[in-house]
Amino acid sequence: MLFVRRGSLVHRIYGQQLFIFALSCVVVMAHGQLFLWKVTLNASPFSLMGVAFAIFLGFRINASYDRYWEARKQWGCVLVESRNLTRQALTLVTAGSPVRPFVLGLMAFSCTMRNQLRGQKATIGTDDLLPDDVCRQLISARSAPTLVLLWLGRQLQGWREARRLDPMLAQKMESSLDALSLALGCCERIANTPLPFAYSVVLHRSVYLYCALLPFGLVDSIGLMTPLVVSFVSYTFFALEALSDEIEDPFGLADNDLALDAIVASVHASLLEMLGEVPPPVPQPDANFLLT
């Protein structure tokens, strides 16, 4: 764990770390003097401010993690409801009805939902899952997952009108489609509503000012150890700030974001097994136990 780089945020904060380390070395060589003025600071005010910053960072981390965990719960709902709809289609629809296209449509929904949340092309991963006319509509759609849900609803409508599905059972399946739409809406709310910008600015400025002044408060008491101690303290503050910023929008491709590709692959594998088909291999994490 000491030498893991990916996911540790080192690549995001190494520039700040080098600057603080160099500043600390300069302060030690100058014996705490700024030009010809001795900066009369000690560790006491930094102890008080450090506690306040820790609490402030804690609130920021909690706010970001709440968004991360809420997004993960909604994707768990997508997995569960997709399985429910597949089971219901296989057991409640009249035998001999073409159920496989409906199940493939559920797989396509998870793909288009991932693509929309990441701002990617809507049709990525939907090859051979939807009819050609639906795929053409997705190319120019502002909300591709919504169109997929509409197509799935029309499949239920067709089964109901053909008397292949009891109207009461169709209503039950519509409730599961509603749950998928709710999960999509909740994830869109998270993606489109960032934390207040002023909150991040205040925290960012305060942390940088604290770390820049810290060498002046420690140089008289710990001397040559000042750069090491200041670097350790600044790493904690910079890393926590960077982490909260990274997981604030958990749908991206950053190291600590949700593994949406793996979740979508899990949805596909589950539904293909329910159809009696062989699913593709399960995605494996890399050497740092991370999935995309």
- Please report, for the chain, the start and end positions of each structural domain, with discontinuous segments joined by +: 10-274
Contact of 216 with 41, CB cutoff 8 Å: yes
Residues in the chain: 292
What percent of the chain is predicted at pLDDT more than 70?
A: 93
Query: What is the SS3 assignment for 33?
Result: strand
pLDDT value at 287 more than 60: no
pLDDT value at 221 more than 80: yes
What does the pLDDT read at residue 241? 86
Q: What is the mean pLDDT of residues 230-245?
A: 88
What does the pLDDT read at residue 1? 67
Residues 6+ apart with CB under 8 A from 62: none
Q: What is the mean pLDDT of residues 59-88?
A: 94
Query: What six digits make up the tokens of 47?
Result: 């102890």
Contact of 194 with 159, CB cutoff 8 Å: no
Span 136-192, pLDDT tens digits: 999 989 999 999 999 999 999 999 999 999 999 999 999 999 999 999 999 999 999
Q: CA nearest 160: which of 102, 120, 110, 205?
A: 102
Distance CA 9, CA 175 (A): 42
Least confident span in 38-42, 44-48, 275-279: 38-42
Average pLDDT, the chain: 88
What does the pLDDT read at residue 36? 67
Q: What is the pTM of this model?
A: 0.86
pLDDT value at 288 more than 50: no
H/E stretch holding 37: strand 37-38
What does the pLDDT read at residue 13? 86
Distance CA 81, CA 86 (A): 8
More confident residue, 14 or 102: 102
